[in-house]
Amino acid sequence: MLLVLDSETMLEKQDLTIARMALDEGRALVIAANKWDTVDDKNTASRILRDRLDTSLTQVRGVPWIPISAARGTNLTKLLDAVLDTYDRWNTRVPTARLNRWLEAMLEAHPTPLAKGRRVKIRYMTQVKARPPTFAAFVSQAAELPDSYVRYLTGGLRDEFGLVGVPIRLNLRQRRNPYTDDG
């Protein structure tokens, strides 16, 4: 999705609401800051926009934004390149073997926490779909894995596989225990 902002009033509440709705729907996002030619202090405006994006859209670190001028036609090629690049990342498929090698390294660097006196085990991970990249992790005690650890894994996926600026879904799955009476 392409969100066009007015450079004079960047990222108002309505802009952020639209961006969050798009990301919640699993859409990739590129931001075009229009009327950039009218901005006096471009360095300050650029820093303010990046800071605001990083603090307001934390679920998709690194959303690309391109300063453009529709009236003058500047940076439109850069904008198209950013859209196509983001679309490619949104369609990314990661092979299961590569994903599990990465998972092993992540678990070794920061082991999962203890729950009910036992370590939560992440057996393996696979990508179940693209658009947005959606992964399933098979976990021994899925309900006991803290959100902070899920964010750690999601951030690692984003960094390792170049999924910057696109929403990532990480679903925790747990096998049903045949020896319990709940089913």
Query: Looking at residue 60, what is its pLDDT?
Result: 80
DSSP 133-160: TEEEEEETTGGGS-HHHHHHHHHHHHHH
Q: Final residue of a domain: which of 64, 90, 116? A: 90
Residue 183 pLDDT greater than 60, yes or no: no
Residue 144 pLDDT greater than 80, yes or no: yes
Whether residue 45 contacts residue 79, with contact meaning beta carbons closer than 8 Å, is answered with no
DSSP 83-107: HHHHHHHHT----HHHHHHHHHHHH
Query: Looking at residue 25, what is its pLDDT?
Result: 93
Q: Quick: pLDDT tens for 3-54.
A: 999 988 888 899 999 999 999 999 999 999 999 999 999 999 999 888 888 8
State how far Cα 68 lies from the chain centre.
Answer: 24
The mean pLDDT value for 154-166 works out to 92
Query: Looking at residue 94, what is its pLDDT?
Result: 96
Query: Looking at residue 165, what is its pLDDT?
Result: 85
Residue 32 domain boundaries:
2-90
In angstroms, the CA 18 to CA 61 distance is: 17
CATH (domain of 117): 3.30.300.20
What is the residue-averaged pLDDT of the chain?
Answer: 91
Q: Does the residue 8 lie in any domain?
A: yes
Q: Are residues 135 and 71 in the same domain?
A: no
Q: Are residues 164 and 101 in the same domain?
A: yes
CATH (domain of 25): 3.40.50.300
For residue 181, name the pLDDT band (cuts at 50, 70, 90): low
Q: Are residues 7 and 85 in the same domain?
A: yes
Number of domains in the chain: 2
Query: Looking at residue 182, what is its pLDDT?
Result: 60
Q: Are residues 104 and 159 in the same domain?
A: yes
For residue 68, name the pLDDT band (cuts at 50, 70, 90): very high
Whether residue 130 contacts residue 91, with contact meaning beta carbons closer than 8 Å, is answered with yes
Residue 85 burial by Cβ neighbours in a 10 Å radius (0-12, 13-18, 19+)? middle
Query: Looking at residue 116, what is its pLDDT?
Result: 86
In angstroms, the CA 62 to CA 58 distance is: 9
Query: Looking at residue 74, what is its pLDDT?
Result: 93
